[in-house]
Structure 1
């Protein structure tokens, strides 16, 4: 019996490790909002102009009489990364005469945000490097029979690129720097602060005339769900510990409780307060949703109905965009987090019986 319990406890630890590893990947999207378009978007030139306008506003605000230092009151724009994607482009290794097809991505901004996954070697391409590219490990294996391919050359669309880095990814993908005039059909807004609101992104898109997007990914929303499942096993573990401590306390004071009604009342009040504090601590640590998903009152049922409808519609769109790497990475990580959380919780429950 002891061996079985130890085995189940080991299984709990392994499954919860899967939950934590996957959940931490989801949490990296907490401050991100990604928008995809089919036929519209922005160019690198437009993005640069927006940042320049923002910089000028801050400087003008700071120079107003009696407003020295007030430039900080101008709300900071998030970091915006844009990219476009072309599917099934012909690519070749001219030295080995190997040809295949790949997804080609032209990036503007932080290239690391586009393709989740660790760098196996090298680095991402800087903004001035028009001859370099980053490829996925699957494409590297296909073209060069290796992932140690820094400095190797390949041709795509009549242009030769040198490999600057290799990212771990099962898809055949090539990333390079977009031109200033290229239309970027995908935009990611990455906030530097702790809090953000997706409504700010929608307001920004409205100002730029880009409201007809095809898919919008609110990373903070999915990170909120991941937080709940990350906290489920610790919540259950805490409940098991509290239950055993309560039973031990009752056994040691059974004679006093049987004779003193006031003592029974105080013990029960202590138990209710302890459970309440434990749940409050759990909520503060693990349950964190964006401000847009926090109602003005708990009884605001219409708010919940509207938000559930929006969430359902957005989730259906996300399922149709599995080809987008961020969505596939985030949803896959969230599924593994949920599986690890529920499985470890079940094992912990049977272990504690």
Structure 2
């Protein structure tokens, strides 16, 4: 029996570790507020948005423009079809969560440089040690600046604002309502409102919260067990234990609130109309995310979310099973 409990506890810990790893993957996919348009932005529109963002004094924002496309890459000896290429102007890490094994992202204005995935490096060069090598992407000669881990053929390259873009990542100092601030910035720049938004911080918060569900469940079961056993304690001991539990919860509350965006915290906890509205807002954000035409990083995030949901549910069931076995 003890061995079964031990193995169940180890398995639960492993599931939690996988859950937190998946949550970090989601956070790396969405480190900023994402704006998506069906109709690409022109150079004039991109410059107007960057200018408007630079004029924000209280909460400056920094836009990174990018676009994903499919095409062909080749060297003198090898060719790769159906390559996913992401061109960007700004911070490359906001557009794609690359884990580099050598080199790094090309510069924002480095129109002759690129970074490629390990899958593409092996197909074109037969090696991962290819920094400094040259390839052609849709007739454009590029030099490899970095190689990152990825089992799909992916290419990242910098470009100027003269290109067209269908997505923008907004980073910087946001106020509580990110959506309203982003929409106001877009209006100031004279751009049409985006067809969809991806709320990066909220996605990361939700993913982390899902990871903590088994731990929260374990805490609730532990407290309930303590309360059950308190009935047999002397009144003084019972009061001390209740005080300890209350103090622990009070100390944990500020940490938990720090993990939440400002718009998810009510101004008055007694405002019961806030909670249904919050649920509707979260559901609308989730529906909007699933309705987005998936880019490569959206696929990675949804894969991580599936792993996270399965592992969190399994860890929760194991927690309940361990509790029942302990009481038996």
Q: CA RMSD in A?
A: 3.1
Give the drift of 1:338.
3.0
Instruction: Give the distance between the partners of 1:332 and 1:279, measured in 2 at CA.
Output: 34
What is the 5 A alignment of 1:1-353?
1-28=1-28, 32-41=32-41, 43=43, 45-50=47-52, 53=55, 74-86=57-69, 88-93=70-75, 95-191=76-172, 197-242=178-223, 251=232, 253=233, 257=234, 263=235, 273-286=243-256, 288-298=259-269, 300=271, 303-321=274-292, 323-353=294-324
Asked whether the 8 Å contact 1:214–1:317 carries over to 2, the reply is no
> Aligned equivalents of 1:279 and 1:202: distance in 2?
38
- Report which stretch shifted further, 318-327 or 30-39: 318-327
1:269-307 CA distance string (max 9 Å, x none): 655555444444444333533223334444656555555
The offset of 1:248, in angstroms, is 6.2
- Displacement of 1:243 in angstroms is 5.0
When the two structures are aligned, how many residues end up with a matched partner? 321
Contact 1:133 1:164 (C-alpha < 8 Å) held by counterparts: yes
What is the CA–CA distance in structure 2 between the aligned matches of 1:47 and 1:299, rounded to whole Å? 40
Partner of 1:63: none
Q: Specify the alignment match of 1:67 in structure 2.
A: none
Structure 1 unaligned residues grouped into runs of 5+: 55-73, 258-262
What is the CA distance between 1:4 and its match in structure 2? 0.7
Give the TM-score of the pair, scaled to structure 2. Answer: 0.83
Q: Secondary structure at the match of 2:260?
A: coil
In structure 2, the gaps of 5 or more residues are none
Question: Which secondary structure state, in structure 1, belongs to the residue aligned with residue 38 of structure 2?
Answer: coil
Once residues 345 and 10 of structure 1 are traced to their aligned partners in structure 2, the CA distance between those partners, rounded to angstroms, is 13
State the TM-score, normalized to the length of structure 1.
Answer: 0.78
Q: Structure 1 residue 132: deviation in Å?
A: 0.8
CA-CA distance at 1:81 after TM superposition: 1.1
State which structure, 1 or 2, has the greater radius of gyration over its C-alpha atoms: 1
In the TM superposition, what is the alpha-carbon distance from 1:12 to its structure 2 partner? 0.9
| Stretch deviating more after TM superposition (225-234 or 176-185) | 225-234
Contact 2:32-2:94 within 8 A present in 1 as well = no
| In structure 1, C-alpha distance between the alignment counterparts of 2:67 and 2:132, rounded to whole Å | 24
